[in-house]
Amino acid sequence: MDDVAAASAAVNDDTSDESLMAAYAGGDVAAFEQLYARHRLRLHRFLLRQLRDAALADEFFQDVWQRVIAARLDWKPDGSFSSWLYRIAHNRLGDHWRALKHRPPAPDNADERAARIPDPDTPERSLSEFEQRRLVQLALDELPEEQREVILLRLEQELTLEEIGAVTGVGRETVKSRLRYAMDKLRTRLGPAEASHA
pLDDT by residue (tens digit) across 33-58? Answer: 999 999 999 999 999 988 888 999 99
Q: How far apart, in Å, are the Cα atoms of 148 and each of 76, 124, 182?
A: 29, 27, 7
Q: What is the pLDDT of residue 132?
A: 77
pLDDT tens digits for range 90-110: 999 888 888 776 555 667 787
pLDDT at 82 over 80: yes
Domains of the chain: 9-104 (1.10.1740.10), 107-198 (1.10.10.10)
Q: Compute the distance between CA of residue 177 and CA of residue 179 in angstroms, rounded to an integer.
A: 5
Is pTM beyond 0.75? Reply is no
pLDDT at 156 over 90: no
The count of other CB atoms within 10 Å of the CB of residue 124 is: 5
Confidence (pLDDT) at 120: 57
Q: pLDDT for 103-135, tens place per residue?
A: 556 677 877 877 777 665 544 445 566 677 788
